[in-house]
Amino acid sequence: MAGTPYGIADAERDLRADLGRAPAGAVAGAWSATTLQAGHAQISGGYTDARGRHLDPEPRRAFDAVRAAVERLAAAGGAAFNRVEVRWTRAGFPLSLLGQPGRIHVETVFDPAIVPRGPEDPAYEAAAAARRRFWEGRGRVLSGFAAQDLDANIHGQTKWFCPHRRVLLLHPTDGSRDGVVLATDGLSTPWAGIPDPENGVACEVALRLPEGEAAQTERVRLWANIMVSLGDRVADGYRVARDVETHGAILFSRLPAACAPFEFVILAAAADGAAIPDLPFGSVPLFEAVPVTAAEMAGGDPDEAWEASTARAALARRDRSAPL
């Protein structure tokens, strides 16, 4: 009837003709396709033979047919869905010999697991609260943010792909002015705009405030900005957390002249192997950013990945017995 919305029966009719032109030997086919999620749609699947082996020399043709049906179903409105499952079965004997296209079954599903996190998702605050509990449990009190960048896109993301791009200023609970720690606060926040069950880039980074002639407030300001830059590099890098865990320590970045006498930063696992628990998707390791001088890194092999051997040797000469 004219004006009737496109429905499951229409999709099955269209796909019966398109998917019925199966490759020789195919007895079944299955495809799974999503609607647009955060600007992207996915499709997978193909034909299989009687032994379950995939055989599809031209998968794009089937993908295009399934994608077209999904788009028409989505445009028609009706019950909400975000994934479509398509099953094709070869017609039985003797209909298969007569050129029958086979049977098609189409099912629409709403899968909450693939819904992208929006700007108000509770996972972001849950991650921040878990980090606060972690630092409080280590005898440190949050004295505020040493640095933070409030600029964000529509998903609440910043360059760290998280709702937060900030550095915590942490003091010992005994009120001592010594032992100040700066720590990133957002690298382990689940990304906004995607559904993946991941704690951001799967780490946080802390730095013991270096001693110096400048007043503490000036040193906090300098090194907090350094921590923001380090956080950006961790977020933009490819599996930095994996590389730190693999090598134990890596020569991560060169420092600006204002950080003299330090010239480089080593990124290493916390000396006590600390990890931040109870984040939305499990725990992540705590890494320590350790400023070092050029002399401490002398003799390194620039051809070695991250100059890891020299970085480990430099850390071995440091007293890191006091926990962060």
In one-letter notation, the amino acid at residue 310 is: T
How many angstroms separate the Cα of 218 from the Cα of each of 128, 145, 224, 228, 258?
26, 14, 10, 16, 11
CB atoms within 10 A of CB 185: 27
Geometric angle at alpha carbon 160, from 280 and 224, rounded to 5°: 105
What integer pLDDT is reported at residue 156 of this predicted model? 64
- What the block records as the tokens of 297 is 């890194």
What integer pLDDT is reported at residue 157 of this predicted model? 67
Comparing C-alpha atoms, which of 203, 323, 223 is closest to residue 267?
Answer: 203
What integer pLDDT is reported at residue 88 of this predicted model? 94
Backbone angles phi, psi at 219, to 5 degrees: -65, -35
Q: Does domain 8-114 have CATH number 3.30.500.20?
A: yes
- What the block records as the tokens of 263 is 């010239």
What integer pLDDT is reported at residue 2 of this predicted model? 56
Comparing C-alpha atoms, which of 163, 164, 181 is closest to residue 172?
Answer: 181
Q: How far apart are CA 90 and CA 41, in angstroms?
A: 28
**Chain region(s) in the chain for CATH 3.30.500.20:** 8-114
Q: How far apart are CA 6 and CA 137, in angstroms?
A: 58
**Which SS3 state, helix, strand or coil, does residue 123 take?**
helix
For helices 59-75 and 8-19, give the axis angle rounded to 10 degrees: 170
DSSP state of 281: T
In one-letter notation, the amino acid at residue 115 is: V
Q: How far apart are CA 37 and CA 49, in angstroms?
A: 32
What integer pLDDT is reported at residue 1 of this predicted model? 47
Average pLDDT, the chain: 89
For helices 240-247 and 308-316, give the axis angle rounded to 10 degrees: 60
How many angstroms separate the Cα of 114 from the Cα of each of 27, 41, 197, 254, 260?
30, 11, 10, 40, 48
How many angstroms separate the Cα of 89 from the Cα of each of 8, 84, 165?
17, 17, 51
Continuous H helices in 76-122: none
For helices 216-236 and 240-247, give the axis angle rounded to 10 degrees: 100
Per-position DSSP letters for 49-88, written without gaps between them:
-TTS-B--S-HHHHHHHHHHHHHHHHHT--S--SEEEEEE
Backbone angles phi, psi at 34, to 5 degrees: -105, 155
What integer pLDDT is reported at residue 7 of this predicted model? 95
pLDDT under 70: residue ranges of the chain: 1-3, 92-101, 152-157, 159-163, 175-178, 238
- Which conformational region is residue 283 in: left (phi greater than 0), alpha (psi within -120 to 50 degrees), or beta? beta
What integer pLDDT is reported at residue 249 of this predicted model? 96
Q: How far apart are CA 230 and CA 207, in angstroms?
A: 11
